[in-house]
Structure 1
Amino acid sequence: MKAIALDSYGSPDALRVADLAEPKVAPGEVLVRVRAAGVNPVDWKLAAGGLDPVMETRFPLIPGWDVAGVVEANGLDACEFTPGDEVYGYIRKDWAQNGGYAEQVSASVRMLAKKPAALDWNQTAGVPLAGLTALQSLRRVGVGAGDTVLIHAAAGGVGSFGVQIAVAAGARVIGTASERNHAFLRDLGAEPVTYGDGLVDRVRALAPDGVDAVLDFVGGGVAEVSVPLLKRAPQGARSARLASIADGDVLGLGGHHVWVRPDAEGLTELAGLADAGKLTVHVDHALPLESAAEAWRLSQEGRTRGKIVLTV
């Protein structure tokens, strides 16, 4: 099968088009013919060795943890799906090697759900990691109806899902973004504010009594800056309604450091929101599989609105 691979840790330039063996399908897994694969910052961070302290990586490495495709075959005792089923998933295994930047991939049924009918293949491939990250972060801080939540990097891949999921839950969302993304955030249901100096005052102008929860999807110290905005958190008191996916120092503030987990039930929930018209996916770039290096360079620039995907 055709795949994108690396032979050692490296930059986007180290990616190569490879002809590799069809993946083995273990018990409890299915073989998926990939139609599109999502691109996430963790892909190129893993390839650069950034996850080496916490995760084993084996070479040749096929990157990619987000896929959308069609079931081709079942492994032993994998009765949840049948050949021909359209599925999608966040397919992170215990070590990194056989990812989704390929024509075929094997994946546990615990990591897959039926594809949302309302989304095309490219949109669907953009959902799993980012959508589950947003969903699990919102759950961790208990966002629900009537809450006011501040979401940092609200126009990005994770943030745009966080906005929509929170709005669907009945929450009010204030989202940080650059000026060029403010109209985009309003369309998603958020009230936009700009980054930078004066952020606390700008949020206070919208929410004089503070916010119920804060989600940091960008890092760079915004979690700490946001602590005074949390209700019942005077002078930096600790709050369990603070979460970050990008700043481990949030633990010292009494918050949560979220690392997304594969979750078939969560994917089913996200598909339901999409099919109900409450969640959509903005695909900023859809590139052919062979252009994976270009996709990584676009991701590294940090100016993507929504998602980048590879078509297979």
Structure 2
Amino acid sequence: MARGWIARRPGPPRSWQLAEVPVPAPGPGEVTIRVRAAGVNPADAKHVATESGQDWPVAIGYEVSGEITGVGPDTRIGSGAVAVGDEVLAFRIGGGYSSAVTVAAEKVFHKPATLTHPEAANLLLTGTTAAEMLAVVAAAPGDTVLLHGASGAVGVSVLQQAAARGIRVIGTAAEGSFDRVRRFGGIPITYGPGLRERVLAAAGDVPIAAALDAVGTDEAIDVSLALVADRSRIVTIAARGRAEDDGIRWIAGSLPDSARFRDAVRPALIEAAAAGTLLVPIAATFPLGEAPGALELLASGHPGGALALLP
């Protein structure tokens, strides 16, 4: 048994329970991980906030880092051969908010030694989301793109991946976060009234080739529509309703095309992290028992970096 967070019914994190949860022995194609850190993401709360046809209770948490304590027969992980004691990270799993978890081995990869466990536990959900945002708008070297929410966890990954490909990013952020945007290669501007004019001033004579929205506000979508004529080059991860109404792109890990893309890009992102070209700034860590508080800080919109739970 392990200690883990579960949602017994739809509701906010304060309605969840920290309970004893089973950790089955790994079968063929499975491994057991002692969790050293669990990534904290908005999706962790969103997928159990309302009734969505899933079976209850639901074990919380999509992403972890830790060490292997059990390996099923004839089993290899996503990055190859594995042994008890290996340090790994896992993404697109269930029940990560736990002290231990048994998962499908194909979703597990060796952790780069350059990453701490909190960093590794926050690498892939944001990293694959950022990679897909750049891909679906066909951002190319030499392009100038607009990024709404540049100082958040997804935004920081977008900035780094764009810079590595020679893509110029103008990113919205609160003034207190400008240094973070600059650190990762972006041109920071404030959101709020006059945003369109500030984007144009920052871009100079260069057109805005694409817009990426990680905040979901009407302002972000309206300014994107005003600056990018081709709606297939506007993507949001936070404004599904506007995407449906306005004919722009909406992506989410639950969509089959998104899932396939994100699974395929995992090895490249892990390689970049190992090389030190993709960093994961950590703002704070919390004991496992303080998961609701961590999610409240995340929901505030200004955590200052990624958050992790430490069992």
Q: What is the TM-score of this pair, normalised by structure 1?
A: 0.88
The aligned counterpart of 2:221 is 223
Q: Assess, with a 3 A threshold, how the Cα gap between structure 1 residues 229 and 72 changes in structure 2: closer, same or farther.
A: same
8 Å Cα contact 2:32/2:100 also seen in 1: yes
Percent identity between matched residues is 35
Shift of 1:41: 1.1
Q: Which residue of 1 aligns with 2:303?
A: 304
Match of 1:277 in 2: 276
Structure 1 residue 170: deviation in Å? Answer: 1.3
Deviations 1:198-248 (CA, angstroms, capped at 9, x unpaired): 111001001133211111011022123212222xx2xxxx43211111112
- Give the aligned partner of residue 41 of structure 1: 42
Q: Tell me which of 171, 177, 197 is aligned to 2:173.
A: 177
Moved more, 245-254 or 145-154: 245-254
- For residues 106-255 of structure 1, the aligned pairs below 5 Å read 106-207=102-203, 208-221=205-218, 222-230=220-228, 233=229, 238-248=230-240, 249-255=242-248
In structure 2, give the amino acid aligned to 1:267: R
Query: Which residue of structure 1 lines up, in the alignment, with residue 69 of structure 2?
Result: 72
User: Once structures 1 and 2 are overlaid, which stretch shifts more, 200-209 or 179-188?
Assistant: 200-209
Tell me, in whole angstroms, the C-alpha distance in 2 between the residues paired with 1:7 and 1:286: 25
Q: Which amino acid aligns with 2:120?
A: T
Contact 1:89 1:267 survives alignment (8 Å): no
Which segment drifts farther, 134-143 or 171-180?
134-143
Output the CA distance in 2 between the equivalents of 1:114 and 1:265: 16
Unaligned runs of 5+ in 1: 93-97
Identify the residue that residue 290 of structure 1 maps to in structure 2. Answer: 289
Matched, 1:82 2:82: yes
SS of equivalent to 1:89: strand
1:33 CA drift (Å): 1.5
User: 1:278 is paired with a residue of what secondary structure?
Assistant: coil
- Structure 1 equivalent of residue 256 of structure 2: none
Letter in 2 for 1:224: D
Match of 2:159, SS state, is helix
Provide the aligned length of Structure 1 versus Structure 2.
297
Cα drift, residue 62 of structure 1: 2.2
Q: Shift of the alpha carbon at 1:154? A: 0.7
Which letter maps to 2:137?
V
Q: C-alpha separation between the residues in 2 aligned to 1:304 and 1:57?
A: 32
Whether contact under 8 Å (2:173, 2:188) holds in the other structure is yes
TM superposition shift of 1:128: 1.8
Structure 2 Cα separation of the partners of residues 194 and 41 of structure 1: 23
1:134 Cα shift? 0.7
Distance (whole Å) between structure 1 residues aligned to residue 23 and residue 106 of structure 2: 21
Distance 1:177 1:86 in 2: 35
Matches within 5 A, 1:53-64: 53=52, 56-59=54-57, 61-64=58-61
- Partner SS for 1:266: helix
Q: Distance in 2 between matches of 1:120 and 1:89?
A: 14
* CA RMSD, Structure 1 to Structure 2 (Å): 1.9
Contact 1:113–1:264 under 8 Å retained in 2: no
- What's the CA shift for 1:26? 5.0
- For structure 2, the residue ranges without an aligned partner over 5 or more in a row are 254-258
Q: Say which SS state the counterpart of residue 240 (structure 1) adopts.
A: helix
